[in-house]
Homo-oligomer: A and B are copies of this chain.
Amino acid sequence: MIPALSQVGDRMFQLTGVRAIMKDIIETLRSGAGREFINLSAGNPVLLPEVEQLWRDCTAELLASSEYSEVVCRYGSSQGYQPLIEAVLEDFNQRYGLNYSDRNVLITGGSQALYFLAANALGGYTQSGDLKQIVLPLSPDYTGYGGMTLEPESLKAYQPHLEINEKTHRFKYHPDFSKLEINAQTGFVLFSRPSNPSGNLLSDEEVEKIAAMAAPHSVLVFVDSAYAAPYPALNYAPMTPIFGENIVHCMSLSKAGLPGERVGIALGDERIIQVLEAFLTNLCLHSSRYGQAIAARAIRSGALAELSETVIRPHYQAKFATLESALDEAMPDSVPWYLHQGEGSIFGWLWLKDLPMTDWEFYQRLKAVGVILVPGDAFFPGLREAWDHTQQCFRISLTADHGEIAIAMQRLAEVARQVYG
């Protein structure tokens, strides 16, 4: 029997964005019996021994303590595990000179869950039938934003301004403030900083300008800080997290070595925290507590912030340097290629301007030479106007090793040479 689905069911049965592509990649890898692929599609972070050891040590401590049974064998508060809330507060208040209390923190089962709650509590239709839009001020952005809304029409992304350096083959996105609209129809604003997929880092001034545009309309700005300082500190350019009355600072510990445990953290005004907490209660009672308990220890001791700076960031920053030099060396002058400035995240973002085929077709050509990248079209959720740029970009994971990245870029350069003719 095939069950009839509701409107929400129909919508949520669709796998959006990069997940549809991941199916093709998984099938390629499975069916490629005997063939070797250099897989630069992975979003799964590299297992870094020092980071794994941190989580093992915290687990051993937890297991040796009487705290264990309280964490694992008892229901908890919907808001989150109190020692984690306190550890985050103490760290952030001290580090950034803030004055948040425990009413300003919510722990969710990963940050995707946090955006799902926000997207549907603040975006979508109101009681009076108005559509509240979720504004993504700079497209491309995180592909998961495409799947979080029960009403797809609520998502509205804006085409960015491109700063292009033809000589160095680099480019960088900026919000296009001449087009960006934030008004009474806006439910909330959302962007990742540093950005997955592009590695772009909105400047402090850009974030402040967006927050200032939103404030008069009582619109909240959610800053997806999954790659930001202080953990996992996957910013390569200097950055200051920005806080403010209408800013919700959203964190994830996935890139700090804890993706399996799904720990998301929201820091913001207590009224929005209450709304999201109530939604979370109705949805799942509370988030799993073991990940929260070991995170509390790693944050309290300072070890997580330290390893982020001394181990996690240098690992990916060195990979990005390899990507840059490999492309600089291998790419033919005849190809108008542009690598996005590497300001953070665990990805490189390559734009092949005037590519004489779609990103999907180029992806297939790369597969034929044993290289897997992610075609970029999936990273423009909510963008409605046609823009050829969306089919000219590729996300390159920095999780492969240095040698693989270099070889893959040589092969990509050769395919590009053929394709551009």
Contacts and interface: CB of A to CB of B under 8 A. Distances in A.
Contact of A275 (B13, B215, B290): B13
B120 A8 contact: yes
Most chain B CB neighbours (cut-off 10 Å) among A56, A70, A188 = A56
Contact of A283 (B1, B112, B269, B278): B112
A120 B9 contact: yes
* Total identical chains: 2
A193 interface: no
A420 interface: no
B269 A288 contact: no
A19 interface: yes
Contact of A9 (B5, B121, B258): B121
Interface in A104-153: 109-110, 112-113, 116, 120-127, 132, 144, 147-148, 150
B278 A13 contact: yes
A52 interface: yes
A288 B275 contact: no
A285 B112 contact: yes
B3 A113 contact: no
B262 A43 contact: no
B75 A254 contact: yes
A279 interface: yes
Interface in A52-104: 52, 55-56, 59-60, 63, 68-76
A237 to B, nearest CB: 26
Interface in A217-244: 218-220
A271 interface: yes
A192 interface: no
A261 interface: yes
B285 A110 contact: yes
A6 interface: yes
A8 B291 contact: no
A148 B282 contact: yes
Interface string A262-305: 10000001011011001101111111111100000000000000
Interface string A1-42: 111111111101111100100000000000000000000000
A329 interface: no
A257 B63 contact: no
A112 B14 CA distance: 22
A113 B245 CA distance: 31
A282 B4 CA distance: 19
Given A6-B122, A109-B287, A254-B75, A69 B44 contact: no
A259 interface: yes
A47 interface: yes
Given A188-B3, A220-B3, A285-B112, A52 B69 contact: yes
A367 to B, nearest CB: 22
A1 B147 contact: no
A7 to B, nearest CB: 5
Given A8-B120, A69-B52, A188-B3, A260 B285 contact: no
A6 B75 CA distance: 29
Nearest to A286: B262
Contacts of A127: 7, 10
B282 A3 contact: no
A51 interface: yes
Nearest to A72: B260
A187 interface: yes
A10 B125 CA distance: 11
A175 to B, nearest CB: 22
Given A71-B260, A116-B282, A260-B289, 16 more contacts: A1-B218, A1-B220, A1-B246, A9-B122, A12-B278, A13-B121, A13-B274, A13-B278, A14-B278, A19-B281, A44-B74, A45-B73, A70-B260, A144-B282, A147-B282, A260-B290
Q: Which 7 pairs from chain A and chain B are nearest by CB?
A: A9-B121, A147-B282, A288-B288, A12-B279, A260-B289, A113-B284, A6-B124
